[in-house]
Amino acid sequence: MTNKAEREEYNVSFFENLKLFSWVFKRVKPYWKMLTISIILMMFVSFMNLIPPYLTKNAINMYLYPTHYSITRTYSQGSVRSGSNYFISSRNGKYTLIHKGNKAFIKGKGHEYPVNMADIKRMEISGVIMIAIEIFIIYLIIFFVSYAQMWTSQMVAIKTVNDVRNVLFDHILKQPMKFFDSNISGRLVTRVTNDTQNLNDMFSKIIASIFKDTFLIVGILYILFFMEPHLFLIILPVFLAVVIITYLFRFFSRKVYRTVRAKLAAVNAFLAEHISGMMITFLFNKEIEKSHEFYKVNNDYYHSALKMVFVYAIFRPMISFMRYFAVTLLIWFGSRAVMGGNVEIGTLFAFITYIGMIFQPINDIAQNFSNLQSTMVSVERIRGLLNIPLPKRPERSADISSGEIVIKDLWFSYNKDEWALKGISLKIKDGEKIAIVGHTGAGKSTISSILTGLYDYSSGSVKVGKVEVKECATAELRSKINIVLQEVMLFSGTVLENITLWDNKISRDMVLKAIHDLDLEKFVASLPNGVDTHVRESGTNLSTGQRQLISIVRAFVRNPKVVIMDEATSSVDVETESMIQHAFQKLTRDKTTVIIAHRLSTIRNVDRIVVINEGKIVEEGNHEELMKKNGIYAKLYRLQSFEEYQVS
Ligand SMILES: Nc1ncnc2c1ncn2[C@@H]1O[C@H](COP(=O)(O)OP(=O)(O)OP(=O)(O)O)[C@@H](O)[C@H]1O
Ligand SMILES: [Mg+2]
């Protein structure tokens, strides 16, 4: 993975940001209809939210403090009768209500019309009730539409993220082994889980809310301006101050957020590494040192988190203060205007309500913009991972027809310039059994990794059954070569599933027959549930020997042409060892066999022994010849016989 994709910090240009967005929108394209619906619904909800304060204003201005009436000749709902005239509360009406003693009149244009006070009250109450019902219906609609909106945006999020996760894992599956050497698994896990989760938040919350909040802010400002431009101008400076504060907050929060993230990543990395290596910590009495080390890493995180708390803690109260300041300004200037008859009281009420409504979206939008920033870090990392080119391997290739192996002048390095194999040439006939021995780190396992196509070699040629390994489709190669690894990896599932590796072509009967043919029935019977014994994650509930035996069955059912055995360095008990040896003999009958041996006593009956030292073949021959030569092999052999002698 590139460093760029790995960085914890986010500091990309506007143009790069656009590229990231276009990447995101490509992922969401299959669900664009749903996303559009979601955004439209969200705007609709915002719009609906703007109405109730306006209606309340009308309720106050028209019915609670009805200062103006219009006159009509016909009856309409909620009107009050006086003789042949009807009066109705109206904002621009030219008539007003006056009281004389305990009688009420509506006065205007030089006339006074007597009205019944009870009628006036009835009209006012019915008007207020109508508005209350309207507000109730609006909130009911908001409830249902919000539900639909949430549902659609969550669906878009879940579907998109599900796709991205699948694509990511498929991409990881296609990587060469080299990729896994330089990418620690914890980091890849984070990519597939946390980073995609951030993407989820982006679709389920951030995008929709940025649309909603912008709409709400613009909507409120628009209403305020047209409702009462004077009051609007009074609180305008407060808004500007809020915008500046929000901008500053974004600037500082982004800065501290970045450090917090980096420090948290350090804590995660430390934990992942040390929990998996806990055994070593125990065995070497390193608990206290490790505890101190962790304390330090954790403390770093704590301090940067404190800084973040400071920035966040000051922002919200500040915005809150600005909000009450705006309300104070409104009460101060607004009430004078009301008293002077320039502004209606309902309008002042609506102003104060809208002011209360506008600060939350300002707060949220600032929050969501910084969330968007951190999501973009995740997007960049996911994209970085997906942009790693895949190795070019043919989908189909010639069939491997025999177990013959021909290696010519093979050079290979894991890291540039450090050659692990230096010009290996080796010919193994079909059906021949050879052993590779050598000191630790000599390059033995490397040869098996090259034969199985796990790593690509830089120069030279490696042919299995006349097909060049580099040009062989991996499916073909790995169906013909099978390997019993030094460290057998088992997955959680049953023993049977670990043998078939979930391959439908391998039936239970085939596995049972294989166990029978390898004389391993006794071993399988000794497991609590036979082949249905549950294997824990990584096979931790089985011993090394048991795992090796399972791995031999695994190879046997696939009937490969070439078998490679990378012998475990850890020894097993004598009985299991003889069971392994016996099963292995049966597995390799008539097959080309490469045994990477650590215990030299186990390879006496191979056709040939190849000794490797520092990436080169240094000796070759059978046991007697090599003993006579008195070289590395003879030395290794004598050392081991001495050890065995000591043990027995
Ligand atoms: N994944 C890897 N990345 C980088 N270097 C590696 C990797 N695997 C092995 N090496 C290096 O390549 C060299 C050969 O390693 P190899 O695993 O082939 O040794 P080996 O002969 O199998 O040793 P052992 O007997 O301990 O299993 C060593 O120097 C080792 O450090
Ligand atoms: Mg090895």
Q: How remote is the CA of residue 304 from the centroid of ligand 2, in Å?
A: 43
List, for residues 163-179, the tens digit of each pLDDT value.
Answer: 999 999 999 988 888 88
Q: Is the pLDDT of residue 614 over 80?
A: yes
**Is 369 inside any structural domain?**
no
Q: How remote is the CA of residue 399 from the centroid of ligand 1, in Å?
A: 30
Give the position, in ligand 1's atom list, of the atom nearest the Cα of 442: 21
Determine the residue type at 94: K
Percent of the chain with pLDDT over 90: 41
Percent of the chain with pLDDT over 70: 96
Q: What is the DSSP string of 343-360?
A: S-HHHHHHHHHHHHHHHH
Hey, which residues does 107 pair with through a beta bridge?
96, 112
For residue 56, what pLDDT band results from cuts at 50, 70 and 90? very high
Neighbours of ion ligand 2 (CB under 5 A): 445
Residue nearest (by alpha carbon) to ligand 1 atom 10: 414
Residue nearest (by alpha carbon) to ligand 1 atom 17: 445
List, for residues 464-523, the tens digit of each pLDDT value.
Answer: 999 999 889 988 998 899 988 878 888 999 999 999 999 899 999 999 999 999 999 999
Q: Is the pLDDT of residue 348 over 80?
A: yes
Mean pLDDT within 30-51: 92
Residue nearest (by alpha carbon) to ligand 1 atom 22: 445
* Neighbour-count burial of 55, counting CB atoms closer than 10 A to its CB (0-12 exposed, 13-18 middle, 19+ buried): middle
Handedness of CA 42, 47, 50, 52 (dihedral sign): negative
Distances (CA, A) of 594 to 85, 193, 291, 378, 429: 112, 40, 45, 45, 11
Residue nearest (by alpha carbon) to ligand 1 atom 18: 443
Instruction: Give the residue from 57, 90, 53 showing the smallest Cα distance to 71.
Output: 90
Q: What is the DSSP string of 144-213?
A: HHHHHHHHHHHHHHHHHHHHHHHHHHHHHHTS-HHHHHHS-HHHHHHIIIIIHHHHHHIIIIIHHHHHHH
**Is 611 inside any structural domain?**
yes
**Is 595 inside any structural domain?**
yes
List, for residues 98-137, the tens digit of each pLDDT value.
Answer: 888 888 888 888 888 988 888 888 888 888 899 999 999 9
**Is 310 inside any structural domain?**
no
Residue identified by tokens 């033995």 is: 444
Contacts of 366 (CB under 8 A, 6+ apart): 246, 249, 250, 315
Q: How remote is the CA of residue 282 from the centroid of ligand 2, in Å?
A: 26
Instruction: Quote the pLDDT of residue 190.
Output: 82
Instruction: Quote the pLDDT of residue 642.
Output: 65
Give the position, in ligand 1's atom list, of the atom nearest the Cα of 612: 21
Q: What is the best residue among 414, 416, 451 to mutate for testing ligand 1's pocket, by most ligand atoms within 8 Å of CB?
A: 414
CATH code at position 637:
3.40.50.300
Residue nearest (by alpha carbon) to ligand 1 atom 7: 414
Residue nearest (by alpha carbon) to ligand 1 atom 19: 441
Rounded CA separation 367/66 (Å):
43
Residue identified by tokens 């042409």 is: 561
Q: How remote is the CA of residue 178 from the centroid of ligand 1, in Å?
A: 13
Rounded CA separation 389/175 (Å):
9
Q: What's the order of all strands across the beta sheet hosting 459-464?
A: 418-428, 405-415, 459-464, 467-468
Q: How remote is the CA of residue 602 from the centroid of ligand 1, in Å?
A: 22
Interior angle at CA 342, CA 338 and CA 344, nearest 5:
50
**Is 102 inside any structural domain?**
no
Q: How remote is the CA of residue 315 from the centroid of ligand 1, in Å?
A: 55
Q: Are 410 and 457 spatial neighbours (Cβ–Cβ below 8 Å)?
A: yes
Residue nearest (by alpha carbon) to ligand 1 atom 31: 441
Q: How remote is the CA of residue 488 from the centroid of ligand 1, in Å?
A: 17
Rounded CA separation 496/506 (Å):
10
Q: How remote is the CA of residue 108 from the centroid of ligand 1, in Å?
A: 103
**Is 318 inside any structural domain?**
no
Rounded CA separation 91/35 (Å):
42
Domain count, the chain: 1
Angle between helices 207-227 and 117-173 (to 10 degrees): 150
* Neighbour-count burial of 416, counting CB atoms closer than 10 A to its CB (0-12 exposed, 13-18 middle, 19+ buried): exposed
Radius of gyration of the chain (CA): 40
List, for residues 390-406, the tens digit of each pLDDT value.
Answer: 877 787 888 888 899 99
**How many of the other CB atoms lie within 10 Å of CB of 405?**
25
* Neighbour-count burial of 189, counting CB atoms closer than 10 A to its CB (0-12 exposed, 13-18 middle, 19+ buried): exposed
Structural domain that includes position 536: 432-440+474-647
Instruction: Quote the pLDDT of residue 4.
Output: 38
For residue 7, what pLDDT band results from cuts at 50, 70 and 90? very low
Instruction: Quote the pLDDT of residue 378.
Output: 86
Rounded CA separation 239/360 (Å):
13
**Is 515 inside any structural domain?**
yes
Residue nearest (by alpha carbon) to ligand 1 atom 14: 443
CB-defined site of ligand 1, < 6 Å: 181, 414-415, 420, 438, 440-446
Report which bound ligand comes closest to the CA of 565: 2
Q: What is the DSSP string of 105-116?
A: EEEETTEEEEE-
Determine the residue type at 5: A
Chain centroid offset of residue 607 CA: 52
For residue 6, what pLDDT band results from cuts at 50, 70 and 90? very low
Q: How remote is the CA of residue 624 from the centroid of ligand 2, in Å?
A: 25
Give the position, in ligand 1's atom list, of the atom nearest the Cα of 596: 22
For residue 11, what pLDDT band results from cuts at 50, 70 and 90? low
Where are the extended beta strands (E) located within 76-146? Answer: 80-82, 85-89, 96-100, 103-108, 111-115
Rounded CA separation 619/426 (Å):
12
pLDDT-wise least confident of 36-40, 492-496, 544-548: 544-548
Rounded CA separation 375/199 (Å):
6
Residue nearest (by alpha carbon) to ligand 1 atom 29: 441
Give the position, in ligand 1's atom list, of the atom nearest the Cα of 615: 14
**How many of the other CB atoms lie within 10 Å of CB of 295?**
11
Q: How remote is the CA of residue 445 from the centroid of ligand 2, in Å?
A: 4
* Phi and psi, residue 65, nearest 5°: -125, 65
Determine the residue type at 517: D
**Is 600 inside any structural domain?**
yes
Report which bound ligand comes closest to the CA of 614: 1
Helix (H, G, I), strand (E, B) or coil at 529: coil
